[in-house]
Amino acid sequence: MATLIIDKIKGGSGGVELSIPTTDGSLGQLIKTDGNGNLSWTTDTNTTYSVGDGGLTTNDLTNTLKANYDTGYSHSQAGHAPSGAEANAANTAITTADQSWTGSQRGTTVVDNDGSFDMNGGNNFKCTPTGAITLTFTNITNGQSGFILLVNSGQTVSAHANTKVDANLLATVTAAGTYLVSYFSDGTNVYLTNSAVYA
């Protein structure tokens, strides 16, 4: 019986001549070219694994997916709004969905001694006036509420037209002492109540 041995192949007239490997390779290997007409065997490294087949653990899969998300995803795509899964991956709460908080959620007390409180600056304030003040709120936001710790040495306290107080509040907090004033805003006016003087 005759044996035909071929160590090179050429595709048609003017085609590229390719040198064939001298071995038969291993199971699952592929033939690759070096770009100069030389062919050789190679192992395919682009393998797809399934969780549970021994090639990939659940933890490896989770870490791989997270790494791909962290490095490859961009929210700069026009018109794209993040989904719940995307926001959770970035540890960012979606404010239109119910949230279960496991960490502390609080605002830092804002010191504002002139009696004018910017709602964009925070929701809880501390005020130690050194002269007469008018209780005033700026950037009035519908639904915002909070507290003002008023430490007064006896300075006169008045209220802006949009700051709503009862008949006794101003006289009470003008007297020397420490007071906790609570407020609630409806977007137009800010309504105040006060504690008794603290010892």
Task: For residue 121, tell me if it sits in a domain.
Answer: yes
Q: Give the span between the Cα atoms of 48 and 102, in whole angstroms.
A: 37
Domain, as residue range, for 132: 110-194
Number of structural domains (the chain) is: 2
Residue 145, token pair as written in the block = 């509420």
Backbone φ and ψ of 198, nearest 5°: -90, 145
pLDDT of residue 104: 82
Task: Say whether 70 sits in a helix, a strand or coil.
Answer: helix
Q: Give the span between the Cα atoms of 3 and 105, in whole angstroms.
A: 81
Q: Give the span between the Cα atoms of 129 and 153, in whole angstroms.
A: 8
Residue 89: Cβ-neighbour burial (10 angstroms; 0-12, 13-18, 19+): middle
Q: In what order do the strands lie in the sheet with 116-118?
A: 116-118, 133-138, 157-159
Q: Give the span between the Cα atoms of 108 and 91, in whole angstroms.
A: 21
Residue 66, token pair as written in the block = 């997270």
Task: For residue 52, tell me if it sits in a domain.
Answer: no
Tell me the per-residue pLDDT of 103-148, one tens digit each, with 9 for 90 and over.
887 889 999 999 999 999 999 999 999 999 999 999 999 999 999 9
Task: For residue 94, tell me if it sits in a domain.
Answer: no
| Residues 114 and 38 grouped into a single domain | no
Task: For residue 129, tell me if it sits in a domain.
Answer: yes
Tell me the per-residue pLDDT of 59-94, one tens digit each, with 9 for 90 and over.
566 666 666 666 655 444 444 555 544 455 556 777
Rounded to an integer, the average pLDDT of 160-183 is: 97
Residues 6+ apart with CB under 8 A from 62: none
Question: Model pTM?
Answer: 0.54
Task: For residue 13, tell me if it sits in a domain.
Answer: yes
